[in-house]
Amino acid sequence: MPRKPRKCSKNLYYHHIMVQGINREYIFGKEEYIQKYIEIILNKIKNSCINILAYCIMNNHAHFLIYSQNLEALSKFMQRINLAYSRYYNSKKERIGYVFRDRFLSEDILNQNQLFNCLCYIHYNPVKAKIVNDIREYKYSSYNEFLGEKIILNQESLNLLFGSSSNFKYQFINIHNNYSNIKSNFIDVKEKSIQEFINEIEQRYNKSIFEFREEKDLLRKIINQARDETDVTIRELSKILKISKTTVNRYINNL
């Protein structure tokens, strides 16, 4: 009988980490950039006492699920990989200055349910961003590493999630198939800016954003879509559409 997955430690050794490009810049916008970031991770993780349990590298940000018993070691690891990547990126782009918005954002994983939700949440990022339709299609996440060749993950990563179960692939797939909490409370950043969203909408419907005010059903759809796909606030939407915040709130709540 296979062992049950390990429970999260009360000492909070599991962490969801997110890094983001400064000003939403597409710091991972080319395959060579992502490959370089992975190369740096593999180099810096040696002898670091860090275990990466899952990851997903998007255009302007990246998510990690990390196990570390030492917060200082975790902080130094993230600092080292981001500093090395910043030097590389600035050299490639012939620029100077910050590459990442912050050092990194972190939240503790408090229990096993949250652990597996975070695992799924990280892998579903490209689907939520509408980059792919199926998580198996995205090349720059750990999803396929669980089922095939390992690059960043290793056996210890699997053991920390599933114990020594020989049936972990079945558990892994089942967890993802039953995941429905796409709109979770995990730290996140949206791939698309509000201006990119507006440009796409105006091109799709061949009309100005202001003209949608005359079509209430379509306006409701666009407002909710903007909230899902970008970081736009209710106040910002009110100014962009030149309607009251009360009206925006009403459409968001489908009133």
d(CA 160, CA 163) in angstroms, rounded, equals 6
Sheet containing 14-20, strands listed edge to edge, beginning at the edge strand earlier in sequence? 51-57, 61-67, 14-20, 105-108
Say what the pLDDT of residue 199 is.
86
Using a pLDDT cut of 90, give the percent of the chain over it. 52
Beta strands in the chain (DSSP E): 14-20, 51-57, 61-67, 105-108
Look up residue 45 and give its two tokens. 């993780």
Of 8, 15, 27, the closest CA to residue 189 belongs to: 27
The answer to whether 26 and 60 are in contact (CB under 8 A) is yes
The residues spanned by each domain of the chain are 14-177, 194-252
Domain spanning 14-177, CATH class: alpha beta
Q: How many helices (H) and strands (E) does the chain have?
A: 11, 4
Angle, helices 234-241 vs 216-229, to 10°: value is 140
Q: What 3-state DSSP class applies to 89?
A: helix
Please report, as a single letter, which amino acid is at residue 26. Answer: Y
Say what the pLDDT of residue 2 is.
37
Say what the pLDDT of residue 183 is.
53
Question: Is the four-CA dihedral 140, 141, 146, 152 of positive or negative sign?
Answer: positive
Contacts of 162 (CB under 8 A, 6+ apart): 3, 5, 6, 168, 171, 172
pTM score over 0.85: no
d(CA 185, CA 107) in angstroms, rounded, equals 11
The answer to whether 110 and 12 are in contact (CB under 8 A) is yes
Of 109, 106, 105, the closest CA to residue 9 belongs to: 109
d(CA 171, CA 108) in angstroms, rounded, equals 23
With a cut of 50, list the residues of the chain below it in pLDDT: 1-7, 9-10
Sole residue written with tokens 């939520």: 128
Beta bridge partners of residue 100, listed in sequence order: 21
Say what the pLDDT of residue 173 is.
92
